[in-house]
Amino acid sequence: MRTLVCIRPGEFEYREMDAPLAGPGCSIIKIRRIGICGTDLHAYEGTQPYFEYPRILGHELAGDLVDMDQAHGFAIGDAVTIIPYFSCGHCIACRNGKPNCCVSIKVCGVHIDGGMVEYLSVPSSSLAPGEGLSYDQLALVEPLAIGAHAVRRAAVQPDEFVLVVGAGPIGLGVMESARIAGGQVIAMDINETRLGFCRDRLHLLHTVNAAEGDVMEKLRHITRGDMPTVVIDATGSRKAILDAFFYMAHGGRYVLVGLQKGTIEFSHPEFHKREATLMSSRNATREDFVFVMDSMKKGLIDPTTYITHRVGFDRVKEEFAGWLDPARGVIKAMVEMK
């Protein structure tokens, strides 16, 4: 089968490999769609934590089940997606119902080879049923589930102001789930095109360009002087993360979804006087996947509007670097497999 391997930062190579067989407790998926996410882009840049080369990227996946073992409730030919965070099942996190942050987690396409292949072997326990959704929709469940998990971590309440910093695909997923939870969502970015997308496609009333004007004053105006009670970072930018500590209301919660390699430092007095809560949000759980798929079926989320670029598998090597260029206006690139 044909695969695409990231040899080192900035370099891909197509290779022929043997197709996998279904071992004990594993299933084989014929890949139909691969969503390109920030993790893939950062890996290509060489800025992704927890990463080694060479690596086959890709974990936002949809495909057909072609072989299986111990995949109860599934049948050959089913359209499926996967929960790409393969956990051990017995560490402290797994025992406490948090396999998304398993001590020895193996994320498909990050710690182990991923889905830029014709056929992929996955643990049967990671399968998620298609539920009548399209391949495009199924490939977008995972990034939306990350957003749903962050909103659940933040315990967003109806009518409270939720500032989402970063209007990329993960940020958009956070915004969607925060809106469904009843929050008054404020989108912040430095890319006016993406902010326009938030206004036009997500119908958000409040957007803030962090590169223009007095950001604090804008937030005070929107929140009638209170500032947002929830701040969620989906940028992974150190500057954006540090700036947002000042955007919280007193008593607020700050959730870090975006990830960067360095150290985070902040003013203890500023944080302390707010009696603020700082949390990280890693990956997602099956509960989040079920929530997203149910929201899609109910028409509460239409993630296919995020797809701005579409390409066949044979052109990924040629097109990939261009998706890093903000001028290309990429929100979500989708790879199609025959």
Report the run of H or E that residue 25 belongs to, with start and end: none
Q: Mean pLDDT, to the nearest integer, of 78-103?
A: 97
| Domains of the chain: residue spans and CATH | 2-139+302-336 (3.90.180.10), 147-280 (3.40.50.720)
Provide the pLDDT for residue 326: 87
pLDDT digits (tens, 9 = 90+) for 1-29: 999 999 999 999 999 999 999 999 999 99
Provide the pLDDT for residue 8: 95
Residue in 88, 8, 1, 101 with CA at minimum distance from that of residue 51: 8
> How many other CB atoms sit within 10 Å of the CB of residue 283?
22
d(CA 163, CA 188): 7
d(CA 289, CA 291): 5
Q: Answer for the pair 274, 249: CB distance below 8 angstroms, yes or no.
A: yes
Provide the pLDDT for residue 20: 96
- pLDDT of residue 47 exceeding 90: no
Tokens of 170: 């993960």
Provide the pLDDT for residue 38: 87
| Amino acid in position 152 | R
First-to-last CA distance in the chain?
12
Provide the pLDDT for residue 66: 98
pLDDT digits (tens, 9 = 90+) for 155-172: 999 999 999 999 999 999
